[in-house]
Structure 1
Amino acid sequence: MDEWVLNALKRWPNVPALFGWLRLDRRGRWLVQGETISHPRIVEVINRNYAADEHGRWYFQNGPQRGYMHLESTPLILLVSDDDEHLVTHTGLAVKQLREAYIDETGSLVLVTEHGPGELRGTDLQWALDRLSIDDEDSLAAALELPSQSDTGITLNTGASQLPLRRLDFAQAPSVLGFNRDPAPREGEKAATRAMD
C-alpha cells in the first residue's frame, strides 16, 4: 500500500468502513455507485491499495477509510499480457504462479494465482483454449455438464505447470476459494453512511 495510506491509518485507525459503493466488474473495471471510474490516476491509486481482509472481503484502502468491493465475479480479473504468453491481474501485477484451475457452468475460467483467485477476462479465453488438453469441443461441452467440484479430465498446460481443470459452479466459488462477493459489516463492525471527502 502507498505510504500516505499507511500514515493515514496510523493517524485515524478507527474510521468506519464503507459498504455498497464500490464494485469490480467482470472486465476488471472499478465502479463507484454504478459509474465506471476512468481517470487513470484514480484507477492507479485503487490498484495499488487493493487488498483482502482476514474474512475474504476485498477492499480499497482510501487513506484511513476502507471501501469494500462488491465483486461481480472474483477478486481479480486476469488479462493476457502484451506478449500473449503470460497473465497479469487487472491491477497490473504479473502472474508468476498458477496454482489451481476451474471452469464454471457457463465456461468462464477461474485461476488461483499467488495474488488470489481471478477470472480470465472473457475476451482472453482463447489464451486458455490454446493451452487446454482437449480432443474436441465435445469434451469441453461435456465438462460443463459435470457436477461442481468434479475433475474434468482436462489439463491446462501453461509451460511452467500442468493444472487439472476442475468444474466449479459460479455460486460455489466464493466458499471454495475463500472470498466474499458481497461484503457486509460483521457483527459489531461500524459502517459509514457515506464516503470520506
Structure 2
Amino acid sequence: MMSTPNPAAIARWPDVPACYDWLSLDRRGLWRLQGEPVAHPGLIRFLNNSYGSDGAGNWLVHNGPQRVFVMLDYTPWVFRLDPDGGLGTHTGIAASAPDAAYLDEEGSVLLHTAAGIGLLDDRDLAAFLAACQRGDGSPADDTALLDVMEGGAGVFWHGLPLQSIARDEVPARFGFRPRPTP
C-alpha cells in the first residue's frame, strides 16, 4: 500500500519538510503523537486513511504535502482477530488470509498477509493459541509452543505451520524500517 500525497497541496507548498520522531504506532495498533495516545476519533480516522509506505521501507502519513514518518514499535501492521474468524488491520480494513504465521522469542505472534507483515494484537493471543494444534490434531500445549520459539516445528494454526522468528530479523526480512531517519 502506498501513501500518496495530494498533488494540489504539493504544487502549492513544494518545499514542506518531512517530519520525523513525532508519530508512532504501538504494539496494539494505537497512534501516538510524541508518545501520547491519540484519542480524537477524527484524527485517528485521518491517520488510518492516510497511512502507507513509500516503497523504500518507510511507513508514513501524508498530511497535505508533508510526509510524517511513523516510528513502529514492532511491525507496520497490527492485526486483530474478528469474532467471525477473519483478520483486520489496526486501520480498520479487512486483511487477506495469512500465508505464514510466526512466533518470536518473546512469544509475540506475527502474521504475513498480502498487506505485509503484522503483529497480532496481544489481546487476541489467547484465542490464537487456543486454535493452535500439533500435527496430530491435538491442542498445542506450552511445551510445543516453547519448542517453536526455540526453532522447533510441529505446531499449526488453521493449517499454517507456526514458524520461529527472531524479533531483530523481522525488519530486514520483511523490508521495513522501524525508525525512519532523514
Counting only pairs closer than 5 Å after superposition, residues 2-41 of structure 1 correspond to structure 2 as 5-41=6-42
- Please show how residues 178-197 of structure 1 align to structure 2 within 5 Å: 178-185=175-182
**How far apart are the structure 1 equivalents of 2:60 and 2:126?**
30
Q: CA distance change for structure 1 residues 99 and 10 in 2, over 3 Å: closer, same or farther?
A: farther
Larger displacement relative to structure 2 (44-53 or 111-120):
111-120
Greater displacement, 46-55 / 93-102: 93-102
The one-letter code matched in structure 2 to 1:18 is C
For residue 152 of structure 1, give the secondary structure of its aligned residue in structure 2: coil
8 Å CA contact retained: 1:8, 1:63: yes
How far the C-alpha of 1:183 sits from its partner, in A, is: 0.7
Asked whether 1:55 is paired with 2:56, we answer yes
2:45 aligns to what SS in structure 1?
A: helix
The answer for unaligned runs of 5 or more in structure 2 is 135-139
CA contact (8 A) 2:3 2:61 kept: no
Amino acid at match of 2:43: I
* Alignment partners' CA distance in 1, 2:162 and 2:104: 10
Q: Under a length normalisation based on structure 1, what TM-score does the superposition of the two structures give?
A: 0.82
| Alpha-carbon distance between aligned partners in 1 of 2:66 and 2:89, rounded to the nearest angstrom | 24
Normalising by structure 2, report the TM-score.
Answer: 0.88
Number of residue-to-residue matches in the alignment: 176
Deviates more, 1:169-178 or 1:11-20: 11-20
| 2:152 is the alignment partner of 1:155 | no
> What CA deviation, in whole Å up to 9, does each residue of 1:67-107 have, x standing for no partner?
111100111111122x2411110000101231221110011
Name the structure 2 match of 1:69: 70
1:95 to 1:153, Cα distance in 2 relative to 1, 3 A? same
CA distance in 2, matches of 1:60, 1:168: 28
Change (3 A) 1:2 1:11: farther
One-letter identity of the residue aligned with 1:131: A
Report the Cα distance in structure 2 between the residues aligned to 1:180 and 1:57, rounded to whole angstroms: 5
- Partner residue in 1 for 2:147: 142
Deviations 1:51-72 (Å, cap 9, x if unpaired)? 0112111001111101111100
Stretches of 4+ moved more than 4 A in 1? 1-4
Amino acid in structure 2 at the alignment position of 1:122: D
Contact 2:78 2:89 survives alignment (8 Å): yes
Whether 1:168 and 2:169 are equivalent positions in the alignment is no
Tell me: CA distance 1:67–1:4, structure 2 relative to 1, closer, same or farther (3 Å). closer
Identity %: 38
The structure-2 alpha-carbon separation of the partners of 1:4 and 1:169, relative to structure 1 and needing over 3 Å to count, comes to closer
**SS at structure 2 position matched to 1:51:** strand
Distance 1:78 1:52 in 2: 17
Partner Cα distance (1:13, 1:56) in 2: 23
Paired letter, 1:128: F
Residue 16 of structure 1, CA deviation: 2.0
Using the TM superposition, give the Cα deviation of residue 49 of structure 1 relative to its aligned residue in structure 2, in angstroms. Answer: 0.5
Q: Which runs of 5+ in 1 are unaligned?
A: 186-197
RMSD over aligned Cα atoms: 2.0
